[in-house]
Amino acid sequence: MNYLSAAEELLGATSAQRGLGAMEHTAALKGPNAFDSGGASKVQVNTQPYNNSRLSEQNKTQNLGSALPQAQSSQVQALRKQQLISDNAEYKANSFAEQRKGEVMEVLGSPATMAMAQMPDPQMKKFREDIAVGKAMAVGVNPDLAQNQMMGA
């Protein structure tokens, strides 16, 4: 005795005759819902605990999926804040060093070093790049490579 109805039995055969055999390969089981393995389709069983646990797991999954981008964003912002603090500390240290250098140069009285101490930042940057290019040429390195390195390229 087969548990499937005549219509369910014949559906596979008629589909195959029409060239639609692949339509029969689904995840759903044939037959009444009482033969499936899920608790939600059983009329004789209290399905509330099963549904509660299933929906609770779905809730956890959804909450995790929405919390992950927020946590990642928070970490990126924290990293940017740390980088900003580090950059500010480095800037203050460099500024203090430049100020002290200027004071020392002024005390020493050397006109060349005093002129260097008075140079604005763009001019000082160009001066340092020229020194780096000169050193590169002295050791036989292409000066364009030295300039690219100074520019951060």
Model pTM score:
0.37
Would 35 be classed as within a structural domain?
no
Per-residue pLDDT at 138: 86
Per-residue pLDDT at 39: 66
Would 72 be classed as within a structural domain?
yes
Would 106 be classed as within a structural domain?
yes
- The full 3-state SS of the chain, as one line of letters, equals CCCCCHHHHHHHHHHHHCCCHHHHCCCCCCCCHHHCCCCCCCCCCCCHHHHHHHHHHHHHHHHHHHHHHHHHHHHHHHHHHHHHHHHHHHHHHHHHHHHHHHHHHHHHCCHHHHHHHCCCHHHHHHHHHHHHHHHHHHCCCCHHHHHHHHHCC
Would 111 be classed as within a structural domain?
yes
Q: What is the total count of domains within the chain?
A: 1
Q: Check residues 63 and 50 and name the one with the higher pLDDT.
A: 63
Instruction: Please give the residue range of the domain that contains residue 125.
Output: 68-138
pLDDT digits (tens, 9 = 90+) for 77-107: 999 999 999 999 999 998 898 888 878 777 7
Would 2 be classed as within a structural domain?
no
